[in-house]
Structure 1
């Protein structure tokens, strides 16, 4: 390996440690990386020059010095840039602006109509991106990485395959090209895969190597992690929900929101629920609010519990297919529908052992709410900033310095 490559690898190793340590001394970095003191000090100086690290007052000035020469202390700057997460759903758009570590600077979410052109979708996204940046007091020039989640399979280049009804083209109207000049790194991902990233980073899958994050509100879509790796596929289609159109006992890729409504109306038409009950009153509305049905079930309403049992049966079949295909240890129901979904999950847990021969996965509700995709997008953008953008900027600075000395 050439000397330049060795120096770059050393700087990358120190940078990786700095990102996790946040505050450090050269001795800390030496112990963590196994590099020599002179190599670590050179790398730290380069990171200071690149604006990634700043030197702190030494131990004497900080009031911690006792004897001997006080160590130089450094911290990773949190103000050298920002990251952006985008959740471009079928019925909503959400934008999050955050620092590269743990602070959200601004978040905006709007509901949108489902019938719209790809061009209109792009315009809505750009408008909300600009509005959210402005509310954070930030500019495009400071963006280190952008990650967008879409309700469509996405290949490794950020494009979605054609859909027979143009649905995927509308929800992902070539966002990789639309956002190409917004940041040094732009990624477009399937929304369920980002939900899986969020659950693994801060949710119910921390420390779990085999799990499925099931977006289950509008349509079924699964982010699948096996042996600690997020599965993708040739076209980004691992976990695509269209399979459930063809599964007996499910019959549709539409999610629990619609499953609850279908079961309420079917039970009312069949005379299985009281026409004067609370559930029948909800059915008089044009759109039955699923959370209201779940609240009735949680309160013990017999009619709502009947619906929860039937929706739970369909969900058990969904989990059975996922369990037989991917053998997860855990399945996490994600999205806004997860709030209050316990009556449905309780029914599914009872039925699940009948739906697969493998041990049944643990079935739990996410606690990350409607913003689970946004959280996954931010986590992915932060990872891209840490592993790609910042190292690129440090190397560019080193190359510029070398050229100046030549």
Structure 2
């Protein structure tokens, strides 16, 4: 990259635009005098920048009441960030459902949609259900597809930088699927694909149980648990995007697969699906001893997997999500075992976002991407998964 100097007028304009846009976005509205005071820029510079942002459709003059007593004379002009200048989508692709959430450029939720899908559905059918959910959502919200500025996607599996799924055992036909490429055919904006547990971790940090913690492990607890981790507030993906794949830890032991853990007979549980597992948990709640023993084994497995990740990362907080978050007494044994093995055990809590976590996190990833574009001060923006 060429050497940038203070005499580069285009660079100075980009910096000043980013500074003013930040100030306007942080307030409901502001006058030119207020923007000048907050940013430290000169009045003529602020006027020029606001005019340019208005021409770009990102800022608009507003007649909002400042909340104070009316002053005599001509009222000061007020401006606000046009959050409605574009829209964002967060998408979840799961075993039993697909979901979408729509927001403006401030991340304000404008609507949601979800459709059930069979866990045995092939990839084409699952993607078609997702497109249907998106179409329904945009139609109800009155938002055109051309208004979308970025789309985030949360998917099971190990996700490559280009949005391809390198490995996924959760969905039929998902391993090797060029998911990002397939979805980009439906949108004229950047599409960012992320592992579902990673997306959920981002969501809990944004709007859920981890808003006050920057070192977090989120456990997406299902038949094969996965985890997403934030270190210093930043998502940790690992060298190949496989960080947090704790579901593979059973390979280090013998006969500790979900089929054997959740069996209430002397044979592995078959078929191993969430409907069959739900029956085991229901029988356990009714007092069936063999079912209760199966649930206890499953929880111990979960504790073992989470404990390994906690020992490696030393997080402040562990958030438990996924359908296993609804199990009775899942937090107490997890906290007890972490206290037993960790020098400084983390706090343990349940997800506040529930089944909305993955789509919400995908939306946040889309918002982060757009923020990088809006507030970039260099000529190009490094884009991931595009």
TM over 0.5: yes
Shift of 1:286: 5.1
Is 1:250–1:318's contact at 8 Å kept on the other side of the alignment? no
Of residues 133, 157, 162, the one that matches 1:152 is: 157
- Secondary structure of the 1:124 match is helix
Instruction: Write out per-residue CA displacement over residues 32-74 of structure 1, whole angstroms, 9 at most, x where no aligned residue.
Output: 33322222221111122222221122769x7633357643211
- Secondary structure of the 1:83 match is strand
The alignment yields a C-alpha RMSD, in angstroms, of 3.2
TM normalised by structure 1 equals 0.79
Of residues 267, 278, 284, the one that matches 1:288 is: 278
Which ranges of structure 1 fall in alignment gaps of 5 or more residues? 271-284, 397-406
Q: 1:133/1:58 Cα in 2 relative to 1: closer, same or farther (>3 Å)?
A: closer
Is 2:117–2:126's contact at 8 Å kept on the other side of the alignment? no
Is 1:198–1:379's contact at 8 Å kept on the other side of the alignment? yes
- Secondary structure of the 2:111 match is strand
Of residues 335, 347, 350, the one that matches 2:322 is: 335
Shift of 1:293: 5.9
Q: 1:169/1:23 Cα in 2 relative to 1: closer, same or farther (>3 Å)?
A: farther
Q: Quote the Cα distance in structure 1 between the aligned partners of 2:281 and 2:247.
A: 25
Name which of structure 1's ranges 96-105 and 317-326 shifts more when overlaid on structure 2: 96-105
Kindly indicate whether residue 300 of structure 2 is the aligned counterpart of residue 313 of structure 1. Answer: yes
- Secondary structure of the 1:28 match is helix
Q: Which has the higher contact order (CA 8 A, sep 6+)?
A: 2
Counterpart of 1:378 in structure 2 is 363
Of residues 110, 115, 118, the one that matches 2:115 is: 110
Counterpart of 1:347 in structure 2 is 333
Kindly indicate whether residue 28 of structure 2 is the aligned counterpart of residue 38 of structure 1. Answer: no
Is 1:88–1:171's contact at 8 Å kept on the other side of the alignment? no
Shift of 1:223: 0.7
Instruction: Write out per-residue CA displacement over residues 212-239 of structure 1, whole angstroms, 9 at most, x where no aligned residue.
Output: 0110024311111112221112321111
Q: 1:324/1:384 Cα in 2 relative to 1: closer, same or farther (>3 Å)?
A: same
Q: Quote the Cα distance in structure 2 between the aligned partners of 1:105 and 1:58.
A: 22
Counterpart of 2:178 in structure 1 is 174
Q: Quote the Cα distance in structure 2 between the aligned partners of 1:145 and 1:322.
A: 32
Instruction: Write out per-residue CA displacement over residues 303-355 of structure 1, whole angstroms, 9 at most, x where no aligned residue.
Output: 576555443322221221011121111111112432x335122122223333x
Is 2:115–2:130's contact at 8 Å kept on the other side of the alignment? no
Q: 1:291/1:83 Cα in 2 relative to 1: closer, same or farther (>3 Å)?
A: farther
Matches within 5 A, 1:210-221: 210-221=215-226
- Secondary structure of the 1:173 match is coil
Q: 1:359/1:3 Cα in 2 relative to 1: closer, same or farther (>3 Å)?
A: same
Counterpart of 1:387 in structure 2 is 372
Which ranges of structure 2 fall in alignment gaps of 5 or more residues? 268-274, 381-386
Counterpart of 2:29 in structure 1 is 23
Q: 1:168/1:147 Cα in 2 relative to 1: closer, same or farther (>3 Å)?
A: farther
Matches within 5 A, 1:356-375: 356-375=341-360
Q: 1:231/1:131 Cα in 2 relative to 1: closer, same or farther (>3 Å)?
A: same
Counterpart of 1:199 in structure 2 is 204
Q: Quote the Cα distance in structure 2 between the aligned partners of 1:249 and 1:317.
A: 14
- Secondary structure of the 1:288 match is helix
Counterpart of 1:49 in structure 2 is 55
Matches within 5 A, 1:127-166: 127-162=132-167
Is 1:100–1:382's contact at 8 Å kept on the other side of the alignment? yes
Shift of 1:370: 1.0
TM normalised by structure 2 equals 0.82
Structure having the higher helix fraction is: 1
Shift of 1:289: 4.1
Matched residue count? 363
Counterpart of 1:402 in structure 2 is none
Matches within 5 A, 1:75-94: 75-94=80-99
Q: 1:292/1:75 Cα in 2 relative to 1: closer, same or farther (>3 Å)?
A: farther
Is 1:317–1:352's contact at 8 Å kept on the other side of the alignment? no
Name which of structure 1's ranges 174-183 and 89-98 shifts more when overlaid on structure 2: 174-183
Q: 1:40/1:117 Cα in 2 relative to 1: closer, same or farther (>3 Å)?
A: same
Counterpart of 1:276 in structure 2 is none
Q: 1:290/1:110 Cα in 2 relative to 1: closer, same or farther (>3 Å)?
A: farther
Is 1:153–1:160's contact at 8 Å kept on the other side of the alignment? yes
Q: Quote the Cα distance in structure 1 between the aligned partners of 2:329 and 2:354.
A: 17
Q: 1:307/1:72 Cα in 2 relative to 1: closer, same or farther (>3 Å)?
A: same
